[in-house]
Amino acid sequence: MFNPERSKKLKLLPPYLFLEIDKAKREARSKGKDIIDLGIGDPDQPTPKYIIEALYQAALDPVNHRYALDQGIPALRRAIAGWYKRRFSVSLNPDTEILPLVGSKEGIAHLPSAFLDNGDYSLVPDPCYPPYKGGTILAGGKFYPLPLHESNSFLPDVKEIPANICRKAKLLFLNYPNNPTASVAPLEFYRGIVKFAKKNKIIVVSDLAYSEIAYDGYRSASFLEIEGAKDLAIEFHSLSKTYNMTGWRIGFACGNSQLISALTKVKSNIDSGIFSAIQLAGIAALEGPDEHIRNMCILYQKRRDLLTSGLRSLGWQVNSPKATFYVWIKIPTKLDSIKFSNLLLKKADIVVTPGVGFGRFGEGFIRIALTVPEPRIKEAIERLKKIV
């Protein structure tokens, strides 16, 4: 049997966490189990109707059936610039400082290929969204983990990075509001990062995918709001979570024009841009009413409160996050995160994400997503009562 040797880079990649979770879910459902899936952060609410209508009308036009431009249609880039100006008071040049993406994930994963050579480092928070590490490995680079500890509000301490690593580092990944910890970052933290990055000539990669999901009056900031940030930073955003468009695959990068240019060159050799009809639907989303976002946050906040109060009634230590639709929970037993997650699946038919899947320093935690209706959250609490 033909058994081709895989590349050394591919062998270095760990199994993709969510594929393993999906496999476990399928096996359980094949046995007739009623699974409550609190694992993957995929919104359960539909895309707003006005966005769907924009896609429908655009899809009828044969002009949109051809190859799209690698840099995205100018109207979409202008819409992104307008949204950033209204939301964060950040001015962006639509022609040089914005690049639409086939979902922010692909841009984040491709960026290291634009800047890392063999032996170069990315500074990667731990725990983190897996593509930060995966993109680094596939680019031939190495990653240096920055521990996110509860005692430091799950913020990395760049003062702890050894000088020899700083000299080899090209990229620093940040993600606030954070996946998986749901922590947020103050502006003072961002100011410190700008000083650190300038001193060490490191590119800052800000992942802002969860900026619009916030509670209790909290408003997320953009890293690009900080003075001097645009000199050294690229920021990624996605329409996936904000507009319930995960399956549509549309996001964007913005920031320093040289960083955008380098990522554009990588992408132009790999893909042919976003389907034009989806780009036009993206314009409708960005220029549409904010009512959907407000209602979405109210919905997730109710779910958050229901889940956290229910878990506290069981004696679990749970904080109420200010942002994202995740709750990062300290495991209430001495089991590790994989064994505890397997226990919940086996004994309660509940899927959660083990913290160690996001990195070594995620051990001792699980992540729960608020992407199921309230009755299912109540049912999950009742099932947990029976096994506690």
Model confidence pLDDT, tens digit, residues 129-153 = 999 999 999 999 999 999 999 999 9
Q: Which amino acid is at 147?
A: P
Identify whether residues 128 and 173 lie together within a single domain: yes
The whole-angstrom separation of Cα 60 and Cα 181 is 42
Identify whether residues 186 and 206 lie together within a single domain: yes
Q: What is the pLDDT of residue 182?
A: 98
Task: Provide DSSP, 106-119.
Answer: HHHHHHHHHH--TT
Unique residue bearing structure tokens 């290291």: 112
On the question of pLDDT at 22 being above 90, the answer is no
Q: What is the pLDDT of residue 260?
A: 98
Residue 91: exposure state from Cβ atoms within 10 A (0-12, 13-18, ≥19): exposed
Identify whether residues 97 and 189 lie together within a single domain: yes
The whole-angstrom separation of Cα 174 and Cα 125 is 7
324: left (phi over 0), alpha (psi -120 to 50) or beta: left
Q: What is the pLDDT of residue 133?
A: 97
% of the chain surpassing 70 pLDDT: 99
Within a domain: residue 155? yes
**Structural domain that includes position 355:** 8-46+291-387
Within a domain: residue 149? yes
Identify whether residues 131 and 175 lie together within a single domain: yes
Residue partners of 380: CB distance under 8 A and separation at least 6: 36, 38, 307, 310, 348, 350, 372
The whole-angstrom separation of Cα 79 and Cα 83 is 6
The pLDDT of 164-193, averaged and rounded, is 98
Q: How confident is the model at residue 248 (pLDDT cuts 50, 70, 90)?
A: very high
Contact yes or no for 96/265 (Cβ under 8 A): no
- Please give the model's pTM, rounded to 2 decimal places: 0.96
Within a domain: residue 1? no
The whole-angstrom separation of Cα 354 and Cα 356 is 6
Split into its structural domains, the chain has a count of: 2
The pLDDT of 25-40, averaged and rounded, is 87
For CA atoms 170, 176, 179, 184, the dihedral sign is positive
Identify whether residues 301 and 279 lie together within a single domain: no
Which of 252, 272, 287 represents a domain boundary (last residue)? 287
Which of 287, 302, 325 represents a domain boundary (last residue)? 287
Q: How confident is the model at residue 27 (pLDDT cuts 50, 70, 90)?
A: confident
The pLDDT of 197-208, averaged and rounded, is 98
Half-sphere exposure of 33 (CA within 13 A, CB side): 19
Identify whether residues 114 and 41 lie together within a single domain: no
Q: Which of 26-35, 60-69, 225-234, 332-341 has the weakest average pLDDT?
A: 26-35
Within a domain: residue 166? yes
CATH code, domain with 374: 3.90.1150.10
On the question of pLDDT at 256 being above 90, the answer is yes
Within a domain: residue 3? no
Identify whether residues 24 and 78 lie together within a single domain: no
Q: How confident is the model at residue 15 (pLDDT cuts 50, 70, 90)?
A: confident
Q: What is the pLDDT of residue 388?
A: 72
Q: What is the pLDDT of residue 31?
A: 83
Identify whether residues 238 and 112 lie together within a single domain: yes
Q: What is the pLDDT of residue 167?
A: 97
**Beta-carbon count within 10 A of 41 CB:** 23
Q: What is the pLDDT of residue 24?
A: 77
On the question of pLDDT at 21 being above 80, the answer is no
pLDDT tens, 88-97? Answer: 999 999 999 9
Identify whether residues 70 and 179 lie together within a single domain: yes
Within a domain: residue 241? yes
Identify whether residues 157 and 227 lie together within a single domain: yes
On the question of pLDDT at 13 being above 90, the answer is no
On the question of pLDDT at 194 being above 80, the answer is yes
Identify whether residues 41 and 173 lie together within a single domain: no
Contact yes or no for 116/239 (Cβ under 8 A): no
The whole-angstrom separation of Cα 63 and Cα 375 is 45
Q: What is the pLDDT of residue 20?
A: 73
Within a domain: residue 2? no
The whole-angstrom separation of Cα 342 and Cα 107 is 33
On the question of pLDDT at 220 being above 80, the answer is yes
Which of 287, 302, 331 represents a domain boundary (last residue)? 287
Q: How confident is the model at residue 112 (pLDDT cuts 50, 70, 90)?
A: very high
The pLDDT of 267-277, averaged and rounded, is 93
Identify whether residues 299 and 186 lie together within a single domain: no
Stated as kind and residue range, the H or E segment containing 53 is: helix 49-60
Residue whose C-alpha is closest to residue 182's, from 328, 64, 284: 328
CATH code, domain with 255: 3.40.640.10
Q: What is the pLDDT of residue 356?
A: 95
The pLDDT of 99-106, averaged and rounded, is 97
pLDDT tens, 305-358? Answer: 999 999 999 999 999 999 999 999 999 999 999 999 999 999 999 999 999 999
